[in-house]
Chains A and B, each alone.
Chain A
């Protein structure tokens, strides 16, 4: 559905995208993650045709965005990060305007608009001005107007930023429905849980290129980060502290006040060793858990930065 091939983009001497490639199959939910300045916004803007690449090609649904811009735009629905609505118009007037702009018939807008607003629980308030809506309601309308023309590819740029948990859950449910309907979605977010929850594939972008892509499991396997055993204890470790430190190779075991963190590739085996060591010491285990590698950790390992940096 989306093929971005060999795209380069520079702003002056700043080479923002370097041989950038991104391929999303029909019906796939793809999360594009990257630290600030990695080239994420530039790549999104090129796909949305707000920017022209210096080189390379972008195809949406097989349509080249550079040579057939208008046709490609019709296949694309963009949910922008900002609330891009007219505050002085009603929800319905906004739907009518954005729908018409995307060449949707009045009847089409009425049918689709009613359906989406009902789904979002906002149909009763359709004749109220956007400026009277809460942040969460505005976010939902912001999504609704992007879907009126039933795009083949939906580009969602942090659609849940800055809203209350209830509205976020409402949007999550809707996103799940879109995914169930087989919609192709390119998603950007700073919330790892969103990416983990919905994504069929994840792409991590840094320094202008995708540095890792695949399913979460594939990425996890590719970068080979072990899970962690976390043990909270009370009392003195005494001489067993050294034995804990040598359970794994140098610097992998960390003891911080009352918390021991030990990497593990064989949980049962390592647990047995840990319990034995505690039996030798004057300390007692308060809490023990296995922490599996999450996207945040992978992201940090790959980019050296936290996602929200």
Chain B
């Protein structure tokens, strides 16, 4: 096994073009996306949007309950009621919800705090104005609620009178809805203390993973090449267990993938000051598990494909599809809800979540370990399927 692994590595490093493509391409693309997302420095109001929101109603009066009902009936949101505002903040911060609204009372006035996940910049840009309008506007918002109350109290007024009345009416100062439009809505964007730009994490987690998947697919193609050139047949004739060949390819792919991701990280640290030493052990674990999962994906492709042409076509389609669904190319929230569910079946999604956990959310190890476990589960599943495929494939080599 050791001899096979060393030989695989030697073959890889003898191929200068492969080495350059494996290590330079991800660095180049990651750098490009880093620049596109504005480097690691944090800026405000980058905004992303989403639709699953949590609501904590601390007021519990008719107006606040009507607001919640209106939010819930809107097609734009799925509302989860949460008793404790701290719990709501935690859920948004960990990415379980796309945003949140805390309804509270201050000086006898109903006010709102929007809770947004700073890592979802583009999403926030859609969510914030949407919620602002929904909460404060005249289409199911506070304005409409007050209009309804005025019309209820003064049934003889027509709508145009109410609009005029709205501007000048002084007797409802205890509600002060006009001021609410200016100051009644606060926004709290959740960001890490490091102030890192989530775009930088997106660049690494997205781009580096996509290029890594292409690299491991190329390593999978190496297996097919060995079959076509006859070296695989010769290896199987030697006194080793047939499956040693597959595992040697798997482990050498992990080593190369680990090096590729690590080198990209180090490059980003040196050039973009990306904080890779923030949680080095967890980062190393994440790189290792991601490398293993991606390597198992490459092995699986080699187990499915029968020729180099097949693996090239298959890998292009599958990697692009996974990258698209998993948010490597475009943020997943832009996609329809069903597609967003699909994104959770991709390696890219869970690895990206792991990177965000480490560098942005700075969550506990236990919470981060869930992502590791999911990736490891993927790896185990893919390699198990690969073993079954290779048992059949190696039996047909003759």
Chain A contact residues, CB within 8 Å of chain B: 41-42, 45, 48-51, 69-71, 73-74, 76, 78, 80-89, 93, 97-98, 100-103
A84 near B229 with CB under 8 A, answer yes
CB of B4 closer than 8 Å to a CB of A: yes
Instruction: Report the bound CA distance from A117 to B239 in whole Å.
Output: 23
CB of B345 closer than 8 Å to a CB of A: no
Given A84-B230, A86-B231, A93:B10 Cβ within 8 A? yes
Chain B contact residues, CB within 8 Å of chain A: 3-4, 7, 10-11, 14-15, 229-231, 233-240, 395, 397-398
Task: Please give the distance in Å from B209's CB to the nearest CB on chain A.
Answer: 28
B397 near A97 with CB under 8 A, answer no
Instruction: Report the bound CA distance from A70 to B395 in whole Å.
Output: 16
Task: Please give the distance in Å from A115's CB to the nearest CB on chain B.
Answer: 21
B239 near A51 with CB under 8 A, answer no
* Cβ-defined partner of A97 (8 Å) among B3, B230, B237, B395: B3
Note all chain B residues with C-beta closer than 8 A to A49.
Answer: 236-237
Given A51-B398, A74-B239, A88-B15, A97:B7 Cβ within 8 A? yes
B398 near A45 with CB under 8 A, answer yes
Note all chain A residues with C-beta closer than 8 A to B234.
Answer: 78, 80, 84, 98
Task: Please give the distance in Å from B241's CB to the nearest CB on chain A.
Answer: 8
Task: Please give the distance in Å from B225's CB to the nearest CB on chain A.
Answer: 10
Note all chain A residues with C-beta closer than 8 A to B237.
Answer: 48-50, 73, 76, 78, 80
A70 near B239 with CB under 8 A, answer yes
Note all chain A residues with C-beta closer than 8 A to B15.
Answer: 88
Note all chain B residues with C-beta closer than 8 A to A80.
Answer: 230, 233-234, 237
User: How many Cβ-Cβ contacts under 8 Å join chain A to chain B?
Assistant: 66
Task: Please give the distance in Å from A153's CB to the nearest CB on chain B.
Answer: 12
Note all chain A residues with C-beta closer than 8 A to B11.
Answer: 86, 88-89
**Which 9 A-B residue pairings sit nearest by Cβ, starting from the closest?**
A50-B398, A82-B230, A45-B398, A84-B230, A73-B239, A84-B234, A100-B3, A70-B239, A101-B238
A sample of 22 cross-chain residue pairs with beta-carbon separation below 8 angstroms, ordered by A number, consists of A41-B398, A45-B398, A48-B237, A49-B237, A51-B395, A51-B398, A70-B240, A74-B239, A78-B234, A80-B233, A80-B234, A82-B230, A83-B230, A84-B234, A86-B7, A87-B229, A88-B14, A98-B234, A98-B238, A100-B3, A101-B238, A102-B239
Given A50-B397, A88-B11, A89-B14, A101:B236 Cβ within 8 A? no
- Measured CB to CB, the nearest residue on chain A to B240 is A101
Instruction: Report the bound CA distance from A85 to B11 in whole Å.
Output: 12
Note all chain A residues with C-beta closer than 8 A to B4.
Answer: 101
- Measured CB to CB, the nearest residue on chain A to B231 is A84
Instruction: Report the bound CA distance from A50 to B393 in whole Å.
Output: 12
Instruction: Report the bound CA distance from A49 to B7 in whole Å.
Output: 23
Instruction: Report the bound CA distance from A152 to B197 in whole Å.
Output: 67
Task: Please give the distance in Å from A89's CB to the nearest CB on chain B.
Answer: 7
Task: Please give the distance in Å from B228's CB to the nearest CB on chain A.
Answer: 9
Instruction: Report the bound CA distance from A5 to B115 in whole Å.
Output: 79
Given A45-B398, A97-B7, A101-B4, A85:B239 Cβ within 8 A? no
Task: Please give the distance in Å from B243's CB to the nearest CB on chain A.
Answer: 13
Note all chain B residues with C-beta closer than 8 A to A86.
Answer: 7, 11, 231
Note all chain A residues with C-beta closer than 8 A to B14.
Answer: 88-89
Task: Please give the distance in Å from A77's CB to the nearest CB on chain B.
Answer: 9
B3 near A84 with CB under 8 A, answer no
11 more A-B residue pairs beyond the given contacts A42-B398, A86-B231, with a C-beta to C-beta distance below 8 A: A70-B239, A74-B239, A78-B234, A80-B230, A80-B233, A83-B229, A84-B230, A87-B229, A88-B11, A97-B3, A101-B235
